[in-house]
Amino acid sequence: MAESQDVEHNVMDEEFDEFWDKVSCYVVANFPYDERCDFVLNATDCITETIFVPYMRMLACDLKCRNQFQEIVYLTMFVAFCLQLLMCLTHVVDMYYSPALKVVSQMLHMNEHLAGVTLLAFGNTSPDLAANLAAIREEVPVFANSLAMALFVSMFTGGMICYISPFKMNTHGTVRDILFFILGVTLLEYVMASHGEVDMTECFVLVLVYISYIVVNILDVYLMRKAMIILERQIGELRDQQQTVEVRKKLGRLEEQYAEYAEDAMVEILERPGSRVSVVNPVHDKFTYTTKRTSRVRQSVNPLATRSVFYNLTTSRNSGLWRDFATTLNPIDIDEWRGANMFGRAFLLAMAPAKVLCAAYIPLVDHELEKHGWSKLLNCIHTFLNPAITIIVSMALHTSHKKKLWYSELANTYIYGVYSCAITVPFAIFVFMHSRTDVPPVYHWVYTIMNLTGSTFLIFVCASEIDKLLGVVGNILNIEEDFMGVTVNAITQALGDLVANTAMAYQGYEKMAYAAAIGGPFFNVLLGTGTVMYFKLNIDMKVTIEEQSGEYGTNAYIFLNLGLFATLLWTSTLDFFARRSMGIFSIMIYLLFLLFAFLIHQNTIHSFASDPTVKPSLELD
């Protein structure tokens, strides 16, 4: 007995003691089906890898999967749920997130390009940054995955924007963004390849490059508006002079230059395709144009007219209160239901849960709609419900222990929601007593804040769950993790960018969408990757090029630079007219990358990654 007490733990004992904390949850796929539940319940990674739904625990314990046939059936159910999440993501971006961004852009006096590289890029990419930071301790090739996602957004999403709605690009802004992007990607590759690993100083340099990019964009808009003021004064002076041939020529040149600047001066509220409201703003009627895709006139909308379209002082403050509430929460439009066929009705039924969830959680602020989307009773409920749900769930996700799932923490974090309601309920009562049902209050813009936080949160939930779901499917089917990271995971993580940018292009904001297709991945590559590397170094983890690049990192780097240089070439060649043919060309570059990745995965061709080498030591006797 005394001898057993004197025995010291060796390295092997420590390895066994830490086994459940270190083992990957996906190793369970190698175990017999009847032993998988015990493994999932003990492995820490099966908890820490869970974002909202514990899929591996559901598969092994709750659904009691016991053979391969059941496994395929349950995975098919997971994919169907993935499609439901995708529909929810699409609805959030199209109906809530995009209109709120346009409102904020107008409030901040941004032009389309600046709004694209800041608001839209930040909103699209911040959920990806949060997901990468959540998996900070995992040894995943962040560099390769970030470049693959950047390639998808810039080439595939950018190509889709050009194909959906051909447009005239912002000339100098596009060139500047692409050159900054090439600089950032090249700098990131250099600091990793120069001495094999990254240090703190290099992370700060990456962040500073991105900050300088934003500063340059802001200064560009400021200088452009100063130039417009000067041009306006010069035009006024020339019009007061005698209209000689020389004066008319000079006046024409100045007016042409002013018109070019004015086209990118502000974010216009345009009539949405299929909108029931079409109110022309006579002040900005010069911005009316026709798209080739729809062959219909798209007109700018007067927000003041759409705001007060039903305003009637002869009715009471709460006239039609419950009717508005029921109409807003109703997920299926009766006229649309009657005109739809069987497949259309099936789609409407599938979209109904997402529409109800979004309507109950996110306040709608859209200057293109009647009353700007105002629904008095529902918006009063949003005043306390939206912050409470966001705070409770976010705190549960943040404080969840590695041995407990996030929803087990709701019993502890609900108190934050109570504190939130104690502050917001009086505001909700004030709004109800002060406002009318037929016109939004003057402070309706405040709901844009809740709109953006709620939309961003739901986008994060949907995109993260889709990414996790497909990761579960890929690992159970024994697909290589590095291959999944640069293909399926890169696409799923960029779904928010794809949906948001294409929705903006469809609504007539192609310049904003394309600017985000360049600014978003630039944000992710420099600021996102730099932040992840910084936190890895902060917890004493080494950041080496071999670990961060993996098998596909160099391929993604080469194809991304190829795509950016090709974009720079065709934009300058075509005088910055984005055509459908160039959209297809950009999409083909990304598909070519996928083909190379697939052939590498099948060992048909060799990647650009370095092979491990063995250096023999020659000893002479």
Q: Spell out the residues 6+ positions from residue 301 whose beta carbon is closer than 8 angstroms to its own.
A: 269, 270, 271, 277, 278, 279, 280, 281, 367, 368
Q: What is the DSSP string of 520-552?
A: HHHIIIIIIHHHHHHHHHHTT---BHHHHHTTT
Q: Which residues, listed in sequence order, are joined to residue 301 by a DSSP beta bridge?
A: 280
Summarised one tens digit per residue, pLDDT across range 52-91 is 788 888 888 888 888 888 888 888 888 888 888 888 888 8
Tokens coding 291: 């798209």
**How many Å apart are CA 271 and CA 293, to the nearest integer?**
15
182 and 205 in a common domain:
yes
Evaluate whether residue 203 is within a structural domain: yes
- 300: which DSSP letter? B
91 and 170, same domain (yes or no): yes
The predicted-structure confidence for 215-267, as pLDDT tens digits, reads as follows: 998 898 888 888 888 888 888 877 877 777 887 888 888 877 777 777 766 66
pLDDT at 1: 46
Q: How many residues are present in the chain?
A: 621
Question: What is the count of structural domains for the chain?
Answer: 2
Closest Cα partner for 563 from 553, 551, 555?
555
Burial class (CB in 10 A: 0-12, 13-18, 19+), 566: middle
pLDDT score, position 283: 37
Domain membership flag for residue 10: no
Q: Within a domain: residue 458?
A: yes
State both tokens at 84: 């439901």
Cα–Cα distance measured from residue 156 to residue 491, given in angstroms and rounded to the nearest whole number: 10
Same domain, 214 and 105: yes
Cα–Cα nearest to 553, from 617, 470, 490 = 490
User: How many Cα atoms occupy the beta-carbon half-sphere of 373 within 13 Å?
Assistant: 21
Whether the CB-CB separation of 47 and 404 falls below 8 Å is answered with yes
Domain termination residue (choose one: 408, 438, 468): 438
Q: Which run of H or of E encompasses 91?
A: helix 68-92
CA distances from residue 332 to 67, 276, 324, 352, 370 in whole angstroms, order as listed = 40, 16, 14, 7, 18
Which of helix, strand or coil describes residue 439? coil
The pLDDT confidence band at residue 290, using thresholds 50, 70 and 90, is very low
Amino acid at residue number 15: E
The bridge status of strand 167-168 relative to strand 577-578 is: antiparallel
d(CA 203, CA 537): 10
Q: Is pLDDT above 90 for 566?
A: yes
Same domain for 500 and 583, yes or no, is: yes
Classify burial at 357, counting beta carbons within 10 Å of its beta carbon; exposed 0-12, middle 13-18, buried 19 or more.
Answer: middle
Mean pLDDT of the chain: 80
Q: Which of 498, 500, 560 is nearest to 526 (CA)?
A: 560
2: tokens are: 């005394």
3-class secondary-structure state, position 301:
strand
Where are the extended beta strands (E) located within 478-603?
577-578
In a domain, 33, yes or no: no
Same domain, 350 and 229: no
> What pLDDT is stored for residue 595 in this prediction?
94
Domain assignment of residue 222, given as a range = 67-308+439-601
In a domain, 401, yes or no: yes
CATH number of the domain encompassing residue 212: 1.20.1420.30
Same-domain pairing of 476 and 508: yes
Which of 397, 419, 438 delimits the end of a domain? 438
Residue 567 lies in a domain: yes
290: β partners: 297
Residues 492 and 523 in one domain: yes
Q: Which of 404, 438, 472 is the last residue of a domain?
A: 438
Phi–psi pair at 44, nearest 5 degrees: -65, -35
Q: What are 141-197's pLDDT values in tens digits? A: 778 888 899 999 999 999 999 999 898 888 888 899 999 999 989 888 888 777 666
The continuous run of DSSP H or E covering 609 comes out as none
Q: Does one domain contain both 211 and 279?
A: yes
Residue 42: inside a domain: no
Is residue 597 located within the same domain as residue 576? yes
Whether 256 is in a domain gets the answer: yes
